[in-house]
């Protein structure tokens, strides 16, 4: 019994030693693409689990850690902080570069592949069950520039802080809860004549879940003129 207890304690200590923050990322004041900056090509793969799926070793937990204010107004920029944990058993590679334009080749007509991680700010009206994405933070990566990615070992996490522009809101003032999710997609750019989703026919790459307690907030409607 004593031997088992010692082994258990050692296991806890080892696990605790592996659990650590890999990086704290503070984005520039404006992280969304500027007007006219095209950041979307043809989406050729979305790393998310929908419907039936097999057991996956790549698992992430995403949580909204902090929000600057609990009063949200149309067009407002609000500081937020997200956390992404690798809770799976294999390394998790994530794009972490704030600017898409930095990844583009010098020749704008050259085709290249990039990845986007989307951390949305989701506003839910609990009484109605309705939800909308008010805004979010985007991070990008290209394998041509390895430093635009980070690899999280099991038990590691990153925190991402930045300003989210409130781009969508409800028609009337609403008491809401605010939480987040994660979208990880692979694109080819430029898209050509049409921007279409090209199925990759691959299995789910990343199983994600939300963590933490949703924050209570209040979303104000656009003033009537």
pLDDT in tens, 136-158: 999 999 999 999 999 999 999 99
The two structure tokens encoding residue 214: 């949703």
Share of the chain above pLDDT 70, in %: 76
- The stretch 117-125 carries a mean pLDDT of 96
The helix (H) or strand (E) run that includes residue 160 is strand 156-165
Cα gap 179→164, rounded to integer Å: 13
Cα gap 178→216, rounded to integer Å: 6
Query: Mind listing the pLDDT tens digit for each residue in 35-84?
Result: 444 556 777 777 766 555 555 678 999 999 999 999 999 999 999 999 99
The two structure tokens encoding residue 186: 């692979």
On average, the pLDDT of the chain sits at: 82
SS3 assignment, position 79: strand
Q: What is the pLDDT of residue 189?
A: 80
Token pair 């069950």: residue: 129
Please list, in sequence order, all residues whose beta carbon lies within 8 angstroms of the beta carbon of residue 147, skipping any fewer than 6 positions away. Answer: none
- pTM above 0.85? no
Q: What is the pLDDT of residue 51?
A: 52
Backbone angles phi, psi at 119, to 5 degrees: -115, 95
- The stretch 16-27 carries a mean pLDDT of 83
Answer whether residue 175 shows pLDDT above 90.
Answer: yes
Sheet holding 20-26, edge to edge: 20-26, 156-165, 77-86, 59-67, 207-210
- The stretch 189-211 carries a mean pLDDT of 70
């Amino acid at each position: 019994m004593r031997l088992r207890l010692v082994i258990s304690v050692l296991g806890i200590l080892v696990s605790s030693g592996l659990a650590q923050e890999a990086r704290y990322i503070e984005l520039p004041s404006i992280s969304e693409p500027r007007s006219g900056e095209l950041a979307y090509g043809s989406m050729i793969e979305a790393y998310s689990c929908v419907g039936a799926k097999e057991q996956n070793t790549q698992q992430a937990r995403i949580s909204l850690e902090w929000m600057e204010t609990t009063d949200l107004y149309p067009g407002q920029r609000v500081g937020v902080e997200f956390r992404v944990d690798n809770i799976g058993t294999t390394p998790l590679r994530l794009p972490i570069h704030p600017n898409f334009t930095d990844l583009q080749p010098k020749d704008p007509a050259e085709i290249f592949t990039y990845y986007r991680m989307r951390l949305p700010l989701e506003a839910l009206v609990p009484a109605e069950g309705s939800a909308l994405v008010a805004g979010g933070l985007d991070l990008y990566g290209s394998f041509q520039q390895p430093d635009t990615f980070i690899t999280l070992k099991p038990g590691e996490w990153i925190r991402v802080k930045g300003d989210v522009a409130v781009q969508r809101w409800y028609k009337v003032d609403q008491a809401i809860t605010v939480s987040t999710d994660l979208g990880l997609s692979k694109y080819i750019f430029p898209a050509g004549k049409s921007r279409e989703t090209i199925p990759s026919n691959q299995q789910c790459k990343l199983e994600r879940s939300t963590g933490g307690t949703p924050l209570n907030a209040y979303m104000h409607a656009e003033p009537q003129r």
